Structures are given as C-alpha cells and as structure tokens.
Amino acid sequence: MEYYNYIKSLHLIFVVTWFAGLFYIPRLFIYHIEANDKQSPDKEILTAQLKVMTKRLWFIIAWPSAILCTLFAIWLLVLMPAWLEQPWMHVKLGFVVLLILYHLKCHQIFKQFQRDEVKYTSSFMRVWNEVATIILFAVIFLVVLKSAFNWIYGFIGIIVLGVLLMLGIKLYKRIRAKNPNA
C-alpha cells in the first residue's frame, strides 16, 4: 500500500491526458470537415496536414493514455477491492464504459477521416465534442462526492450542463454566421 498514491497519481495523470486527446480529436475533425469544403489546393494541403495531426494525437496521446489510465485503474481496484462494493463506484464504472464507447466511436470516425470519408457536419461534431465534457463532469462529481444516492440530482445537473453546452454551441453558431472569422 505504500505505492498506492503513486499508482493513483499515475492513473489521474493518464485520465487528464486521455481527456485531452478526447477533447481535441473532435476539434480536429471539425477542422477536417471545414477543410473539405475549401477549394484546391487549400483542401488537399489542409486535409493532408490534419490527417497527420489527428494520427499523431490519436496514436501517441489518446490511445496510450486510455490504455495506461485503464491499467492503473484496474491496479487501484485490485489494491482496494472494497470500492467495488460501493454504489458510487458502480455508477462511475458505468460512465467509464460510456467513455470507452465514446473513444471507440471517435476511433471509427478517425478511420473514416483517414480514408477521406466525411460523413458528419461541423455542427454535429461540435455537439459530439461535448459528450466527453459531460462524462468528465459526472465522473469527477461521483469520485469527489462518493455518492450514488444523490444520482438524481447529478443526473439533473448533467442535463442542465448539456442544455447549457447546447445553448453555447447555438450562440457560437450565430456569432460565426455574422463573422465567419470568429
């Protein structure tokens, strides 16, 4: 148990870097979508550069961070098996499963962009970008408060956060429509 805090620290470091990758990859997808609408040669130049950037982010930061975060989390659960009896941990692990599914969907989208398949709008991708934010809020509050009993308040809070994020996206869209360089 003397190295518990080191394992926990490494877990948290990789949580942060994993989320950094998950926050930035949809932003690169948005740039890729918008580059696809440009004229030659800008389209080809930007698309090629964005493919390199997304590939590096995805395979050098996001995937290794996800794997290391998960390994350190499993190690923590092995050291503290009583956590698995806690209702808040069950809810947290549910959100972790959602995060993994989100990561896998981002990987699918990544592969599509690498093949020059643009199937999404930039508006959709802006909304998609907020899924990781909502999961992060939920997990942080669960870990800090350690209470699944108040999940109804947490759920309402997540809904309110989602609504606020959507309003922010709509506001940004209006500002951008008036000023395309914003």
Cα 49–54–55 angle (5° rounding)? 100
Q: Which residue in this structure is represented by tokens 């309110």?
A: 160
**CA terminus-to-terminus distance, the chain:** 51
What is the distance between the alpha carbons of residues 173 and 170, in angstroms, rounded to a whole number?
5
Please count the CA atoms within 13 angstroms of the CA of 137 that sit on its side-chain side: 17
**15 CB burial (10 A radius; 0-12, 13-18, 19+):** buried
Annotated ligand binding at 170? The verdict is: no
What is the distance between the alpha carbons of residues 105 and 114, in angstroms, rounded to a whole number?
14
Annotated ligand binding at 92? The verdict is: yes
Known binding-site residue numbers? 11, 92
Known binding-site residue numbers for heme? 11, 92
